Structures are given as C-alpha cells and as structure tokens.
Amino acid sequence: MSPSSPKPVVPKTYKEHPFDLHGLDGISDAQIAEHLVLYAGYVKQVNGINEQLAEMIGRGQAPGTHPELATLTHRLGFEYNGMLLHEHYFSGLRSQAEPHPPSGSALAAALAESFGSVGQWQAAFHAVGESRGVGWVILFQDPTTHWLTNHWISLHQEGVPAGFTPLLVMDVWEHAFMRDYKATERGAYIEAFFRNIDWRMIEQRLLTTRALRLAS
C-alpha cells in the first residue's frame, strides 16, 4: 500500500568523532591516521545511504518490492557497524594505559566471573583474534544476565548478538595493523592492542545499561 501524500523525510546526519590517539605503544601515529581515514569513509557512507533512502521514502518510492531501496537497506548493516565498531575501537584506546584492568575493579570481577580469571579471558580473546579471516573480536555483555562473552564478527555485521553491549572492541582487519606489522605478525599487533586499552572506559561501558558512544 503506497501513501497517498508522501511526506519528506529528513535523514540523520552523523559526524566523525575527532579521536586523539597519538603516542600509543606499538601502534604508530601513521597507522592510526590511516585507520581514521577509513573510519571517516564509513561515516560518509552511512550519511549517503540514509540520504538516498530518505529521499526515496519521502517521495513515496517504496512500494512493494523495490530493488534499489532493498539494496541500499541491506548495505546499512555493513556501513553502520563499520562506523560504530570503529568508534568503539578507537574510544577504547589511550596512551600510557595500564596493562590489565585494575585489580578489585568491577570489570576485573566480571571477567573473572565469566571466564575464571582475567588472564583466562585475555588468553581466549587473544586466541580468537588470531583465528583465520578478517573481522573483529568483541567482548560483549548480555545486559539482561550481565554475563560476558567473546565474539567473532565478520564483515562488521555478521555475528553481532542483538541488544548486547560491546565492551572491548578489537579490529583485526589487516588494515588495522599492516602499516606497523606484517600479515603474519597479527599476534604482535594484538599484544600491542592490549598495551593500549583504556580500562576505565571499558569499565564505564560495563556499568552502564546502554553502549557508550563518543560520536553522534
């Protein structure tokens, strides 16, 4: 059923967050700068698709099966999660970070409850990160049970547990590290990643009932 008088739709426009991540340990400024350009591309794609969809819907061009509208909508999962996961990744990093979650913190307790110990969680997270393929490793919290689980996410959107809160997001696409490391040195990149985690931010995400985002 098509509307008799289409109404214009004003699309949401997202802005890039200006992350300042100079001076990380084992992840160079040049690597981060290149990676932020890729992140900016996802923000641009999200805005572009939303504009096209808003225009089509606002003109009443969404009747029944509409191949172009469907194709654009199918792409949103990839582009949105490309934007969102990069924001979680970058905002979870900081220079001069502590190597582990502070002992006695709520985060350390939650990791120990779900994985036996912080060390066992970290070993499992690292192991998933070295699995074959490109994608993301994400520590998620089930907001209902508060249980924590590690997940592998392919292509930004495949494997995301609906409604779960991403706490720690690690990018293991090769573009995330190949300026600093060889393709065969992903393990060294993961070790560097662990030396730059903003544990306070990760704990903040744990303690809130919704995912924290710096950008909007």
Residues that bind Fe ion (CB under 5 A): 171, 173, 176
Residue number with CB closer to Fe ion (7 or 132): 132
Residue 159: CB minimum distance to Fe ion, A? 16
What is the per-residue DSSP string for 93-157? B-SS--SSPPTTSHHHHHHHHHHSSHHHHHHHHHHHHTSSSS-EEEEEE-TTT--EEEEEEBTTT
Q: Which is nearer to Fe ion, 46 or 176 (CB)?
A: 176
Distance, CA of 39 to CA of 65 (rounded, Å):
32
- The C-alpha atoms of residue 79 and residue 56 are separated, in whole angstroms, by 19
Which residue, judged by CB position, is nearest to Fe ion in the bound state? 171
Give whichever of 152 and 173 is closer to Fe ion, judged by the CB atom.
173
CB of 112 to Fe ion, least distance (A): 30
* CB 172, min distance to Fe ion, A: 9
C-alpha span between 171 and 165 (Å, rounded): 17
C-alpha–C-alpha distance, residues 206 and 168, integer Å: 10
- From the CB of residue 121, how many other CB atoms can be counted at a distance below 10 Å? 22
Q: How far is the CB of 114 from Fe ion (least distance, A)?
A: 26
Least Å distance, CB 156 to Fe ion, is: 9
Cβ closer to Fe ion: 78 or 173?
Answer: 173
User: By C-beta, is 87 or 171 nearer to Fe ion?
Assistant: 171
